[in-house]
Structure 1
Amino acid sequence: MASRGHSVDVMLRFYRLGHEYFTVKLSESITDWIEDPAVALRTFVDLERFGFRYIDRISSLVAAEYVAELDRLQNQARAERADVVRALLAGERVDIARAERVLSHRLTGRQIGFVCWVDDRGVDLEGFARQVGRFLGAGHSLVVADSPLAVWGWASIPGDVRTSPIGMATEFPGERDKVHIAVGSPHPGAAGFRTSHLEALRTRRIIELSGRAAPSITQFSDVALVDAISRDLDAARAFVAAQLGDLARDEAKERSERAALLAVLDAQGSLATAASTLGIHRNTVLQRMRRAEERRGRPATINIAELHAALLVCDVLGASVLRDS
């Protein structure tokens, strides 16, 4: 029954129906066997008591054996699934047809890896991760527990599906404000299964380095440059210090000046666009930009690409790459 996927309730129903059959037959026949009604009643009561005890005992024994067999089957399935996932993540050659059968997951489409984690228990992470997979365009997603507080997931999506994880912020009810989500980029096939997963893990690293307390939804494409620069965190701090000078301090004034300068560079020099983005007056943007240049020790027109990258790293990672005041 366990190996065929039947529930324990279906199995135990056989015993309940058997007991009912026994009771009906006993009540119909006992007076044929025993003429004295008083003796017949006592005998019926004794046999029913025995029947109840038997069903109670055998139900417990059978249920325990069912659970043990189900555990064996599930452990075997989990072990086999874990082995296939490990092989795929290690870049080993695998039998794709067998892997898809074991994982119940298609490996021929584009793969999006994602990671969901929480700070405290109390959230159905696996169920939540399946919601993420459906949002990304997969009717069925593969979800694997990484720890009690984190799960890995993969969505296999058709080539014509376009995903936008940022929309999840408004799509997910309830537990969305308790779960961090890091999403890799879509990549094709079994190799994409590994690549997108690694991107999701690197995105999680960036989120944790940034020190953000509130759960967020972050795509790898939004932090790819920061990830590349911060692989060596000491080197990233040195890069930021070299590009920003005294602007690389973890203080409120420096933060506002960096934000203004980054907004101007993002807007390709447009003060009006930067002011609209920041929600402040154009002149305020210009003043903060000038003070930022003074702290930096050179104009923003020098080494623009490096300056832009350093400001972006500071904006994402914050105190992890800044000097204390």
Structure 2
Amino acid sequence: MATDTLQEAAVERVTAIATVMGTGLPELTGTLHKVLAETIEELQGDQLIVEMLGASIESNLETVAHILRYGIDVDKVSTPSAAEEYARRLAQRGVAPLALVRAYRLGQQQVLDWAFDELAKDSDQAVALAAARIVMDTTFRYIDRISEQVVTAYESERVRWLANRNTVRRAMIEELLRGDPVDLATAEGALSYRLRQHHLGVVLWSTSRSAGDENLRQLERLLQQAAAAAGCSGQPLFVPRDRSTGWGWIPLGRTRAAITMDSDEEGEHWIAIGSPAAGADGFRVTHLEALRAQQVALAGRDRAHRVTAFTDPQVRAAAMLAADLEGTRRLVWNALGALAADTETAARLRETLQVFLAEKGSFLATAERIHLHKNTVKYRIDKALEERGRPLDDERLELELALVACRWLAGSVLVPASP
């Protein structure tokens, strides 16, 4: 058979195949729908998305059938509206675009299998082969073009959706933190977070010079670590405040779990933690406590702890002292005298004196706690009181507050050492 004649016969056969495809569209759509819904795990469990997948498949098959039947130029074809809407819905639900592209590849395979089965019935194999090449080339170019368009639609919708969702989320959080009355169901929908439970508020920040996006990723990972330390099984809520700061809430369910995290002395990422609290009001209170714990850490400057928890009684006291640093400096200087010097020697004496007061004046208990000989403890206490210039019980409350301030707010309240 001449080449031109073969090509004409192949085109006629493709037209016939496309006609059959159009006639059997519901059956072919059902087959593809079942295969894709069962194969792509990301789509399972969401009935609306699965239904929209069916509409997307039908509209794409109909378009392919028209292209093959009428010889339409693939480069002039636009994405069917149902397929574009399906891509946008996947973006809104956070389904990875890989699931979107994979559906088109699997769909193409199913269509080709169906078409080849139809062509295998032909007696003229040369015509069947030429027709198969046309179908394969056309479907490939269609999938290449349409998958690019739907991914673009997906990405645009994802950016828009996240921006809109973050705007709504921030507005809702501001209402909750102001203590405004809110509808709990509406608030939970906006935040994708359950308010009717116990929460643990955290504030996270970075002193790293890394790019903002990388800083936020690191802070979100730190929040996940804190959630794991609290035994949290749900997804914590993370809200960026700027390029180096984030707010977070860890869902605790019905428990009031304590949290213990390693407070290493190295690193560029910091966390302040509130106390467990319940309900919408607890959502606000635990956050405010985390902010106060952060204030303590910031006042401590480079000597602050990497993890600062408001559940520590000393942190709660330090938070009140940090609210008036000028007054706290005067308190420290008046209560400690030379013991307020920013030196390693004074720091050792202050630490020993603070433990001594906590152990109710027991030299033995203090020695056991800080792993020193009892005589060494006695020497340090005597030296500390000598530096202070006053007896232990002289204005005892101010002495204890000053020691707390020195421990947690060191960088802001200590007297600089003399040159």
TM-score range, shorter chain: 0.7 to 0.9
TM-superposed CA distance for 1:18, in Å, is 4.3
Q: Letter of the aligned partner of 1:190 in structure 2?
A: A
Question: 1:239-278 residue pairs with structure 2 within 5 A?
Answer: 239-278=331-370
TM-superposed CA distance for 1:190, in Å, is 1.6
Residue of structure 1 equivalent to 2:100: 11
Residue of structure 1 equivalent to 2:57: none
Count the aligned residue pairs.
318
Q: Letter of the aligned partner of 1:228 in structure 2?
A: M
Against the structure 1 CA distance between its residues 286 and 17, is the aligned structure 2 distance closer, same or farther, given a 3 Å change threshold? closer
Distance in 2 separating the partners of 1:178 and 1:135: 20
Residue of structure 2 equivalent to 1:185: 275
TM-superposed CA distance for 1:97, in Å, is 2.2
Q: Letter of the aligned partner of 1:97 in structure 2?
A: A
For the Cα contact (< 8 Å) 2:277–2:283, is it kept in 1?
yes
Task: Select 1:79's aligned residue among 154, 167, 179.
Answer: 167
The secondary structure found in structure 1 opposite 2:383 is helix
| Runs (5+) with no aligned partner, structure 2 | 1-85
Against the structure 1 CA distance between its residues 207 and 27, is the aligned structure 2 distance closer, same or farther, given a 3 Å change threshold? same
Moved more, 79-88 or 143-152: 143-152
**CA-to-partner distance for each residue in 1:97-148, whole Å, 9 max, x for gaps?**
2112222323233332112333335554324423423433543232222234
Moved more, 274-283 or 204-213: 204-213
The secondary structure found in structure 2 opposite 1:152 is strand
TM-superposed CA distance for 1:83, in Å, is 1.2
Against the structure 1 CA distance between its residues 220 and 18, is the aligned structure 2 distance closer, same or farther, given a 3 Å change threshold? closer
Distance in 2 separating the partners of 1:269 and 1:290: 12
Structure with larger Rg: 2
Q: Are residues 1:314 and 2:406 paired?
A: yes
For the Cα contact (< 8 Å) 2:303–2:411, is it kept in 1?
no
Residue of structure 2 equivalent to 1:173: none
**CA-to-partner distance for each residue in 1:154-186, whole Å, 9 max, x for gaps?**
134355x342322x339xxxxx96642211012
Task: Select 1:107's aligned residue among 175, 192, 195.
Answer: 195
Against the structure 1 CA distance between its residues 297 and 50, is the aligned structure 2 distance closer, same or farther, given a 3 Å change threshold? same
TM-superposed CA distance for 1:294, in Å, is 1.7
Against the structure 1 CA distance between its residues 277 and 98, is the aligned structure 2 distance closer, same or farther, given a 3 Å change threshold? same
Q: Are residues 1:164 and 2:255 paired?
A: no
Distance in 2 separating the partners of 1:162 and 1:305: 32
TM-score by length of 2: 0.67
**CA-to-partner distance for each residue in 1:258-312, whole Å, 9 max, x for gaps?**
1221121111111111122222211121122112212211111111111011011
**CA-to-partner distance for each residue in 1:235-266, whole Å, 9 max, x for gaps?**
11111001111111111221122122112111
Distance in 2 separating the partners of 1:308 and 1:215: 20
Moved more, 14-23 or 87-96: 14-23
For the Cα contact (< 8 Å) 1:133–1:153, is it kept in 2?
no
Moved more, 19-28 or 91-100: 19-28
Q: Are residues 1:300 and 2:392 paired?
A: yes
Q: Could you tell me the percent identity over the aligned residues?
A: 32
Q: Letter of the aligned partner of 1:19 in structure 2?
A: Q
Distance in 2 separating the partners of 1:165 and 1:12: 42
Residue of structure 1 equivalent to 2:5: none
Distance in 2 separating the partners of 1:215 and 1:309: 19
Moved more, 7-16 or 59-68: 7-16
Q: Letter of the aligned partner of 2:278 in structure 1?
A: P
Task: Select 1:280's aligned residue among 372, 390, 396.
Answer: 372
Task: Select 1:150's aligned residue among 242, 245, 258.
Answer: 245
Task: Select 2:220's aligned residue among 126, 151, 172.
Answer: 126
Task: Select 1:208's aligned residue among 287, 293, 298.
Answer: 298
Distance in 1 separating the partners of 2:406 and 2:395: 17
Distance in 1 separating the partners of 2:243 and 2:206: 9
TM-superposed CA distance for 1:61, in Å, is 0.7
Q: Are residues 1:234 and 2:289 paired?
A: no
**CA-to-partner distance for each residue in 1:198-240, whole Å, 9 max, x for gaps?**
1111212212222346863221132010110121111111110
**CA-to-partner distance for each residue in 1:83-102, whole Å, 9 max, x for gaps?**
11111112222112211222
Structure with the bigger RCO (C-alpha within 8 Å, sep 6+) is 1
For the Cα contact (< 8 Å) 2:304–2:408, is it kept in 1?
no
**CA-to-partner distance for each residue in 1:45-67, whole Å, 9 max, x for gaps?**
45533432222111101111122
Against the structure 1 CA distance between its residues 49 and 3, is the aligned structure 2 distance closer, same or farther, given a 3 Å change threshold? closer
Moved more, 207-216 or 89-98: 207-216
Against the structure 1 CA distance between its residues 46 and 3, is the aligned structure 2 distance closer, same or farther, given a 3 Å change threshold? closer
Distance in 2 separating the partners of 1:131 and 1:257: 35
The secondary structure found in structure 1 opposite 2:293 is helix
Distance in 1 separating the partners of 2:323 and 2:170: 28
TM-score by length of 1: 0.85
